[in-house]
Amino acid sequence: MRIRTPFILLAMLLAGSFSMTSCVKNYTCQCVIKYGGYPGLPDSVINSYSITNDKTSAQSKCKNESFHASNTPYVNNSAITATETCILY
């Protein structure tokens, strides 16, 4: 019986280490940009891109890669707003 004890402990250690690691998967970050404040502005724009990472890092990257209003020509007018909502799939 003493010989089996190290094998059981090793198996438990390996199972624990595998359960603690994060799984790297392909996720899709989909961002919807809506313009408002003036008539005749473009409809909503949907941007999608893939992220290969663990879920926590992918969520963080999807949130941080958000739309910056300075990248659009409509920002010079203070009456126009651009809002973005990003969701990770």
Q: Write out pLDDT tens, residues 20-36.
A: 556 788 999 998 888 88
* pTM for the whole structure: 0.58
What's the rounded mean pLDDT across residues 60-84? 65
User: How far from chain centre, in Å, is Cα 8?
Assistant: 39
Distances (CA, A) of 85 to 16, 29, 82: 37, 10, 10
Domain ranges of the chain: 23-88
d(CA 66, CA 82): 12
